Structure 1
Amino acid sequence: MVAVGTKTIYRPLTAVTDEQERCGHATFAVRRCSAHRMAIAVIGEIDAVNGRALGRYVERHTRISRQLVLDLRAVDFFGSQGFTALYYISVHCARSDVDWVIVGSPAVRRLLAICDPDGELPLTDALSSALARLDRLAHGGQHLVWTAKSGWHAR
């Protein structure tokens, strides 16, 4: 007689709660804040050794998320490969319909002032303003208003 059973071939949504990865002189850590929001923190240095790894780490962990807080407040050095990683993350988030925001250290803000002078990347300097921005985006298109003529509709 042959034994029959099932095998899980995917990672459940609750499996990704906290995970760390060390790459070069940086540590990446992810934390699920809610069902729709992930926070990824980076500690250390982003350079040619780990810039690409940062982009891939973010891509891997935002597949099941609608919002991302990329916390770079503890980044001491941020080289040009860091900007390339942020551009890659920006394209990924746009294609995946993920709202995101960067909380940057002075090193991150300094490089973005040069490489992104028009401020196209969603950079903030405080976690509170980052969370407020994501909350506004989450609730921006979901306001329902009741009118006697048409009933419930989005506004």
Structure 2
Amino acid sequence: MVAIRTERIFAPSISSDEDQTRCGAAIFATRTCSPNRIAVAVVGEVDAVNGRELARYVERHLRVSRQLVLDLRAVDFFGSQGFTALYYISVHCTRSDVDWAIVASPPVRRLLSICDPESELPLADDLTAALARLDRRAQRHTPFVWSARSGWRTG
């Protein structure tokens, strides 16, 4: 008789401020910059092997963050599945009200110039510009606070 059991192979919770995963010819790494901002860096190649995993990796790490810096400066090759991943990340960020910015290498910029000619994805010139953009966006978001006496008000 064969014993059947269930074994958990995916643990979505992240226990530390930093996480690193190798997937295909790329390494995905996450760093918590502040309570509301994370940075995801990618080193290597984003292609059909790991494009979908990149999108899932980012989604998994965005649980409570309000801002994302996607650092693709160390990407040597960026295939069409990479663009699909960026599109998926964009949709997820929009639905989750997460502000984000992309800092890209020349191969990523080349593909975005073809696949995103209207520049709808938040591509920044460099890391400083990406952080400044996110800081400006954070200042525009005025939190709403519930008060039992006066109802909703800006905080």
> TM-score w.r.t. structure 2 length?
0.82
Q: Name stretches of at least 5 consecutive residues in structure 2 with no aligned partner.
A: 1-11, 144-152
Partner of 1:65: 65
Q: CA deviation at 1:134?
A: 0.1
Partner of 2:127: 127
Q: CA deviation at 1:38?
A: 0.3
Structure 1 residues 141 and 76: alpha-carbon distance in aligned structure 2, compared to 1, 3 A threshold: same
Partner of 1:32: 32
Residue type of the partner of 1:19? D
Q: Distance in 2 between matches of 1:129 and 1:140?
A: 17
Summarize deviations over 1:5-31 as a string: whole Å, max 9, x none: xxxxx958xx34001000000000000
Percentage of pairs with the same residue = 69
- Structure 2 residue 112 is the aligned partner of structure 1 residue 112: yes
Q: CA deviation at 1:140?
A: 1.4
Q: CA deviation at 1:64?
A: 1.1
Partner of 1:47: 47
Task: Provide the secondary structure at the position in 1 that maps to 2:60.
Answer: helix
Q: Distance in 1 between matches of 2:141 and 2:41?
A: 28
Query: Would the aligned equivalents of 1:100 and 1:134 in 2 still touch at CA under 8 Å?
Result: yes
Query: Would the aligned equivalents of 1:16 and 1:31 in 2 still touch at CA under 8 Å?
Result: no
Q: Distance in 2 between matches of 1:113 and 1:94?
A: 22
Residue type of the partner of 1:102? I
Partner of 2:97: 97
Partner of 1:3: none
Q: CA deviation at 1:93?
A: 0.4
Count of residue pairs the alignment pairs up: 134
What is the root-mean-square deviation in Å for CA atoms of aligned residues? Answer: 1.7
Partner of 1:79: 79
> TM-score w.r.t. structure 1 length?
0.82
Q: Distance in 1 between matches of 2:140 and 2:107?
A: 32
User: Where in structure 1 do 4 or more consecutive aligned residues deviate above 4 Å?
Assistant: none
